[in-house]
Structure 1
Amino acid sequence: MASSITDIPDQLLTEIFLRLPTPQDLTRVSAACVTFRRISTDRSFLRSFRCLHAPSLLGFLDLDGFHPAMPSTPAVRALAAAADFTFSFLPSHRRWTVQDFRDGLVLLARNIGEHGQPPVFRDLVVCDPLHRRYVLLPPLPHDLAASLEHPVSEACWKRFLVPLGEEEVVAGETTFRVILICKTSLAAFNFSSSTDQWQAAVPKDLNDLAFGKGNIHRRHYAYGCFYWDWVNFRMKKLLLLDTRKMEFSTADLPPGEWTYEGIAIVEAGGGRLGIFGFHCETPSDLSYTVARNKGESPTQWQMEKTISLDSRYKYFIKDATRRYLFLTRREAPSFYNELVGYFSIDVKTLQLQRVYHKQHYFMNEAYSYINFPPSLLSSRRI
């Protein structure tokens, strides 16, 4: 006898829906009938679907607003139409500056001089531009601010969000963390929305880590730790901050001469670190090196692959996420030549793709917006 598709057991429908190729397909399925809607909106089902389907690159956020990624897919257009990247839902929304973006959330700082507050510890807000919700962070307690031995200027501080771990993503975690760190000393403070409190990192002296005068440069993240290049050491060492213990330490780079065009530390899988970078021998070849052993500071490395790029151009690594490596391209050989493209490399497939191009547009302080399109999967975090 013929039967309706709604007669199929829920368990089997769940397995079918998990195998849909894109989030857009799941959205269309959820609109088909009440049964499909109930299954596709179940929290446990959505957690499983998010695990199997990596979020897409939808665009970039900088001081000038939101810039849709190329190509212009339906998901990209839907986000550009649905989200409020002018932050009009914030109080005095024109007086905030973007500091970071992670997991659908944007961190902003109030412009210097507002309400006469000290310039170093400015007001911070975390917001969700897609669902127009925000949380104003409490000020840093006086006892923590007083723990700094010497006054530090505003330009020395960086503010950023801590990415969610895989377990937190699977669990549909709605909390967030913000870290405030000084670039010229090892002063750091951590805010957790789960406790609504700030805490200071374990104190550490630069001399104890064999660092002299210098400055932390590019920021990387993998397996719960932030890594920074230490410029005065010509990138031979990395400064490391364990976000679980809030402790500083150091890590060594793989052997070889790494160029100033940048490196990027990524999660290679199985708890191992991976490093993208350029070597002095062939500047147009991008190498991918993977640690043989697990840990925050591995000692054994293996060259995994070399990606040959167009030698007519100069490439610079700008950012990396769990899925993408981002590079800018300029006319060789000068660093100051006009930027002629912004590219991504899929960390898993190692495929190169142009994701943005605009004349005279410099993506030096742009943050990648990687999330699910406005749908069942882009649930509210705040």
Structure 2
Amino acid sequence: MSSCSSTSRRRCPGSPLLASLLENDDILSEVLLRLPPAPSSLPHVSLVCKRWRRLVSDRVFLRRFRAHHRRNAPRLGFFTHESSGKPTFNPTMDPPDRLPCERFSLELERGCNIVSCRHGLVLILNRARRYLLVWDPVTGDVIRVAFPPNFGRVGGLFFTHGSVLRAVGNVCDGDQIPFLVALVVNDQGGARAFACLYSSVTGLWGDIISTACACPSEIPIFSPSALIGSSLYWMLGCSGPVGILEFDLDRQRLAVIDVPPGILAFRMFHHRVMAAEGGGLGFLCLSGYNAELWTRKKGSDGVARWVLGRTVELDKLLSLKQKGGCQPFMFGFAEEDNVSFFATGDGVSMVQLESMQFKKPFEFLVIGNYHSFSSVYTAGLGIDNRRDGPQQLNNA
């Protein structure tokens, strides 16, 4: 008799068939696989009995659990970057799912900066030494990849940016899920933009593609990409006319798209490319205390144009005091659920733009990007036992 048979019967009075089914390890594993992906879920059920702990601690089960939930992974917190170059994790979940700040840390050399956070991965660039790191904070894996040859160069005139995403599907190599890295860069003066795609499956960079910018314009360093459909988008306009750079991953094509009317210059922490409500390309423009949500739609003539959808009055939503107060800045954006990080004199609030729900302001940390981090975390159950101290870089 299994160690959980009496427990199952006590919890399923009048259901001998259900209790009998749960005696089967395969069936019970399928049930446990569908538990919510909160950090406390598996540790809590592991306390039921030794049998349940054995099942949820199995590496195959944990791999399946992460793969099953990775498209709806919870937001564990966000990363900021200190002046020392060290990424800092800031938890946002409530107990018992709240993780300690020191849970995810990585020792980096100077010159490294976080530029992208998506699908449980963090992309870090070292522009001066021309390499990138793909870091999975949950498994602790760090992969180092050199820039493709002749891609950009060292110097303030060349703003290299990047983005990371998981490859389509759940094909795993051990605990690894394939990923892609896109790099984009401007030439001198911002007359052309270049892009290149790396695949972890082949371990190779693809061809370098390019497009002309209608007006010389550069990619702002502090403007993360947006993944919408099969395309990545970056803002253009660091020192010239503002626009949007599109990298179509399926077609391997670059294009420049105009921005909503009236936006003549890029304002850091005020403009953001995002998914529109209902899908498609969207744009968030922060003007004073108002957040304008734009959508790009095709008219009856087949021409795509920007249409203003909604205007969110942040002063009313967040009860801000306009007189003498600090107008809001947009320090981050979570693609998974359209949550923006708005910084004000009261702290930083997370606002869900569609439902208008927001979380109470937390302490103002640093001036810079807040990179939202979502992943499936299963502490102390076999796959995550390495996270007790700063993780070290493993060259690959």
Contact between 1:159 and 1:181, CA under 8 Å: does it hold in 2? yes
The equivalent residue for 2:313 is 308
1: distance between equivalents of 2:95 and 2:292?
A: 30
1:160 partner SS: strand
1:357 matched to 2:370? The reply is no
Structure 1 segments unaligned to the other structure (5+ residues): 88-92, 113-118, 332-339
Contact 1:219 1:226 in 2 (8 A): no
1:198 to 184, 205, 208: 205
Check conservation: 2:332, 2:370, Cα contact below 8 A. no
- Given that 1:58 and 1:369 are in contact with CA atoms closer than 8 Å, whether structure 2 keeps it comes out as yes
Contact 1:107 1:124 in 2 (8 A): yes
Alignment of 1:54 with 2:54, yes or no, is no
1:131 maps onto 2:139 in alignment? yes
CA shift, 1:370, in A, is 2.7
1:215 matched to 2:236? The reply is no
Please state how far the C-alpha of 1:249 moved relative to its aligned partner.
Answer: 0.7
Corresponding residue of 2:166 = 164
Specify the alignment match of 1:274 in structure 2.
282
Task: Show the counterpart of 1:337.
Answer: none
Cα distance in 2 for partners of 1:28, 1:329 equals 35
Q: Give the superposition deviation at 1:11.
A: 5.3
Aligned partner of residue 28 in structure 1, secondary structure: helix
Query: 1:197 is aligned with what amino acid?
Result: L
Describe how 1:6-21 pairs up with structure 2 within 5 A: 6-8=19-21, 14=30, 18=34, 20=36
Q: Deviations over 1:356-375 (max 9, x none)?
A: 414xx433144333323344
Q: Which residue of 1 aligns with 2:334?
A: 321
Question: Structure 2: how far apart are the matches of 1:290 and 1:11?
Answer: 46
Distance across 1 between alignment mates of 2:312 and 2:200: 41
> Does residue 179 of the first structure (1) align with residue 192 of the second (2)?
no
Structure 2 gap ranges (5+): 1-13, 316-320, 387-395
With the length of structure 2 as denominator, give the TM-score of the two structures.
0.68
1:316 alignment partner AA = F
Q: Tell me the matched-pair count.
A: 337
CA contact (8 A) 1:315 1:329 kept: yes
Instruction: Quote the RMSD (CA, aligned, Å).
Output: 4.0
The answer to whether the Cα contact below 8 Å between 2:342 and 2:351 also exists between their aligned partners in 1 is no
Letter in 2 for 1:164: R
- Contact (CA 8 Å) 2:138, 2:375: kept in 1 or not? no
- Equivalent residue letter for 1:153: G
Deviates more, 1:11-20 or 1:249-258: 11-20
Call closer, same or farther: CA 1:271–1:59 in 2, change over 3 Å: closer
Secondary structure of 1:362's counterpart equals coil
Partner residue of 2:97 out of 75, 90, 108: 75
Q: Does 1:288 align with 2:293?
A: yes
CA distance in 2: counterparts of 1:370 and 1:133, whole angstroms: 16
Query: Conserved in 2, the CA contact under 8 Å of 1:39 and 1:45?
Result: no
- The residue matched to 1:373 in structure 2 has which SS? coil
Q: Report if aligned partners of 1:71, 1:355 keep a CA contact under 8 Å in 2.
A: no
**Secondary structure, in 3 states, of the residue corresponding to 2:99?**
helix
SS at match of 1:289: strand
> What letter is aligned with 1:202?
I
Aligned to 2:3: none
**Whole-Å separation in 1 of the counterparts to 2:102 and 2:16:** 40
Among the aligned pairs, what percent are the same residue?
Answer: 19
The match for 1:28 is: 44
Residue of structure 1 in register with 2:115 after alignment: 100
Q: CA deviation at 1:344?
A: 1.9
Counterparts of 1:309 and 1:164, CA distance in 2: 34
Q: Distance in 1 between matches of 2:304 and 2:158?
A: 31
Shift of 1:95: 4.4
The structure-2 alpha-carbon separation of the partners of 1:50 and 1:182, relative to structure 1 and needing over 3 Å to count, comes to: closer
What are the superposed Cα offsets for residues 191-243 of structure 1, whole Å, 9 maximum, x if unpaired?
2211111233323233xxxx2222223343122322233326654x3222223
Q: 1:227 aligns with which of 233, 246, 257?
A: 233
Q: Where does residue 242 of structure 1 map in the other structure?
A: 248
2:376 — aligned with what? 372
Say if 1:355 and 1:30 are closer, same or farther in 2 by CA, change over 3 A: farther
Q: 1:229 to 1:96 in 2, by over 3 A?
A: closer
Contact 2:285 2:292 in 1 (8 A): yes
Amino acid at match of 1:140: P
TM-score scaled by length of structure 1 = 0.70
